[in-house]
Every structure is written in C-alpha cells, then in structure tokens.
Amino acid sequence: MDALITLLLKSSIILIVFYAVFIVFLRKESHFILNRLFLIFTLISSLTLPFIQIPVITNPVSEEFNVFLQTVTVSAGQTDIKPLWSLSPGLLVLLFYLCGVLVFIARFVLRLYRVLSIVKQFGIVTSGAHKIVFTDGSYASFSFFGLIFMPKAIDENDALKIITHESAHIRQKHSTDIILMELVSIVHWFNPLIGFIRQSLRDTHEFLADAKVISEGFKKFEYQQLILKTGLHAYTLKLSNNFNASQIKKRFIMMTKSKPGLYVRLKFWVVLSTLTVMLAVFVCGSVKSILPFSPEGPYGRMLLIPDTTKKAQSAQTPAQKSEPFQIVDEMPVFGNNNNDLIDYISKNVVYPQQAKEKGIQGKVFVSFIVTKEGKVKDAKVVKPVNDLLDAEAVRVVSSMPKWKPGYNKGKAVDVICNLPINFKLN
C-alpha cells in the first residue's frame, strides 16, 4: 500500500510540475507541435518515471563497510490463527482507489462502445482517401483514428472544410494522444488536475487542425463562421476529436497569431532541458550506504553498509590471517535454499511476553562469525533496540546449526555476517 501511495505521489508531482511549466511558459505560444509534444511527454513521464530509480553511489571505494543479510521479520503471535484478511485503513484506501479505477475503466469502455455503435448504426462510406460515417445530425463532427464522423445534411463547401480539419486530426494521430490521456485519467481518477490537462491537450489538437485548414487556402473569416454555426447544439463524444465551438475564443485568437520565431523555439528547449535536469535528480536517489557492488547472496541482495566502529577487512589483503573476512568470493550459506534462514529464525524466535505487553518492537542487528568449519560463534548485538529483544535475537543466532562456510580463493575462511531481525507487533 505504501509503495502504491509513493508511486501515485511521485506521478502527481510530475504532472503538477510539468503542467505548471506548460501554463506559465508555453500555453499562450503558437508553436502547437512543440506544445503537443510537451503535453505528451508529461503524460508518459507521469506513467513511467515513478518506477525508475537510479542509485547514485556517493561513498568512496575505500570506505569501511559491513555486509548485512536480508532482514528477517518476526511477528508477535505469528503462530496464532489469523483471518485471511482484515479491513485495515490501508486496505480500505486501496479498495477505494481500485473501485475508482474500475469505474473509470468502465467509462473508457463505454465511450469506445458509443463510437462503435455509431459506426454500426450509420455505416462507413469511402470517399476518395477518406472513410466517412454520415450521421443524422445528432452528433457534432468529429474524428476517431481513421474515421471521420459528420452530419449528412451539410453544405458541400462546409463539408470540405470539416473534412480538411478532421483529416488533420487523423494524419497527426491525435486519437492516440486521447487514448494515452484516458489511461492517465484511469490511474489519476482522483486528481482534479487531469481535467485541465485533458482540455489543454484537446485545445492544442484543435489549434493544429485549424492551422492546417487555414494553410490549405480556406478563407479565415468563412472558416470562423463555420466554427460558430457548427456543433453548437450537437452532442459530442469525449473519446474523439470534435469539430465544435467549445473553445471558440481561444481558437480564434490562435488563428490570428503569427508563426513562432526562434525565440519561442529556444524558450521551449530551455524549458525542456531544465525539466530534464530536474527529472534526473528526481529519479537518481543518493544511496550512501551502498558501496561499489552489492553481491547477490543466498538470501537476496545483501547491502554493504559503512562500518564506523571497526576497520573493515579486505577480502584480498587481510591484516592478519586469524581475523575473519568481511567479503569473500563465496559468502556463507545457511541451509539449501533462500528461505531456510528465514524459516529457522521465524520458527525459533520467541517474542518476549513482556515486550509484547509493553508494545516494544524494532529491528535488532546481530553480528556473528561463521567459521571455516561452518559453526556460528561470537554472536553480539551491534545495533540494539531493547534488552529483551536483543537477548532473544542473540540467543537464536547463537543456537543456529552449521552453515556452509564461506570461501575465498578456493579456501574456507571465517566470515563476519550481520543479520537484521525485525521484531514486529501485529
């Protein structure tokens, strides 16, 4: 649940920052192609970047370190019979979010069905290079992927302008943008910003299509008159590019603007470059505790964590042969598979009753040596939580049966291991 909230929060931050930049720097500019690309980049970034985390190693190679095995979690009363699930606050929030996702998926499917039902009702007529669905006038003219929808009873000159307009939507693949917008809407159904981004994307589509009509030689005044009289009272579909008058004022203003110059393009690339740097910082997390490598151990990925209390022993040049190693070619292994260590600790740790009653919990870090014979010795707490939990953690680790010893350069050696045991109350 926490992971989902974190992903949604990161995604929301990306949407907020990018759209704020769009509003401040780009919305009023007439470089519609770049504006469209920026909005698409915003949507794609919100869906992908939260899942990307690039670790940045900030420790020098020579820093001292310890190896920590995967954390073993021990719950109080773990042997008790538990219900399969419970309505915790986190689960309620998750269910609420998933219900919203299902509702918006259903809305998306319904909109697709409406488009298909119109096609089925009126049929497709091929006119030259265009595939047209002539409706009865109940719907405003619109396009969806390769299809143009328009009223049958319409003036021939007006029809030519509409076809030019909708063909621009089709050639520039604006329907793909709308599908992407719908996917983001499903993920962010709770986010009120989505409506504003959707409208900005639709406005940009209309500006691009209007510019295409004007560039084809149609008179601007006549085309504006067509916009005023077409679609004012007709039903429009949300999942389409509509030829309508919902944003008449903005469209007319953009038609009168001159073509963007070098300054506008330069500003766009400066803004995009700045955001790229911000994104690099966003996805690159500083991992101060990880050194040049994190070896894959038998219990998953092991962390190399700086040791501030003791000089780390190099695997290649130990100070004394009698001293145990920290890192070796083959780390010690307990049991035969990845779960054996976890199973042993979980089954043998007894959560102290007094700790339960006092609500004491936390993560105890136990250090011990696996000898070259595979025996466990010198178990001690290196990061305590409470005397009761510390003592229990040391007791269980000290009583462990033999491990498979670690090997360095083909020879069995003593190796220091560190095991986090997380005592957690239910």
CATH for 340: 3.30.2420.10
Is residue 322 within 8 Å of 91, Cβ to Cβ?
no
Number of alpha carbons in the 13 Å side-chain half-sphere of residue 164: 17
Q: What is the distance between the terminal CA atoms of the chain, rounded to a whole angstrom?
A: 17
Query: Does 309 fall in a domain?
Result: yes
Long-range residue pairs from 198-201, CB within 8 A, at least 24 positions apart, any chain: 200/19, 200/22, 200/27, 200/39, 201/36, 201/39, 201/177
Query: Does 380 fall in a domain?
Result: yes
In angstroms, the CA 184 to CA 374 distance is: 54
Query: Does 394 fall in a domain?
Result: yes
Is residue 180 within 8 Å of 40, Cβ to Cβ?
yes
Query: Does 187 fall in a domain?
Result: no
Q: What is the pLDDT of residue 136?
A: 87
Tokens of 221: 């005044």
The two beta strands, 406-408 and 300-301, are unpaired
Q: What is the pLDDT of residue 42?
A: 93
Q: What is the pLDDT of residue 84?
A: 43
Question: Distance of CA 311 to CAs 59, 307, 324, 377, 420, Å?
Answer: 16, 7, 12, 20, 21
Domains in the chain, number: 1
Q: What is the pLDDT of residue 86?
A: 53
Scan for tokens 């590019």, then name that residue: 241
In angstroms, the CA 220 to CA 227 distance is: 11
Q: What is the pLDDT of residue 294?
A: 42
Tokens of 249: 């004022």
Backbone angles phi, psi at 276, to 5 degrees: -60, -40
The residue ranges of the chain whose pLDDT is under 70 are: 1-2, 54-67, 77-88, 231-237, 240-246, 258-261, 263-264, 281-322, 338
Burial class (CB in 10 A: 0-12, 13-18, 19+), 137: middle
Say which DSSP state 333 is in.
B
Query: Does 320 fall in a domain?
Result: yes
Query: Does 231 fall in a domain?
Result: no
Can you tell me whether residue 203 is helix, strand or coil? helix
pLDDT tens, position by position, 67-85:
677 788 888 764 343 444 4
Tokens of 46: 């919100």
In angstroms, the CA 331 to CA 407 distance is: 7
Backbone angles phi, psi at 30, to 5 degrees: -100, 15
Q: What is the pLDDT of residue 318?
A: 46
DSSP secondary structure, 170-233, as one string: HHTTHHHHHHHHHHHHHHTTT-THHHHHHHHHHHHHHHHHHHHHHHTT--HHHHHHHHHHSSSS
Q: What is the pLDDT of residue 234?
A: 55
In angstroms, the CA 367 to CA 383 distance is: 9
Domain around 395: 296-424
Query: Does 20 fall in a domain?
Result: no
Is residue 393 within 8 Å of 381, Cβ to Cβ?
yes
Query: Does 33 fall in a domain?
Result: no
Q: What is the pLDDT of residue 316?
A: 44
Q: Which residues on adjacent β-strands are paired with residue 125?
A: 132
Backbone angles phi, psi at 22, to 5 degrees: -60, -45
CB atoms within 10 A of CB 399: 11
Maximum Cα–Cα distance for the chain, whole Å?
97
Is residue 126 within 8 Å of 110, Cβ to Cβ?
no
In angstroms, the CA 395 to CA 421 distance is: 12
Q: Is the dihedral of CA 134, 139, 144, 150 positive or negative?
A: positive
Is residue 149 within 8 Å of 133, Cβ to Cβ?
yes
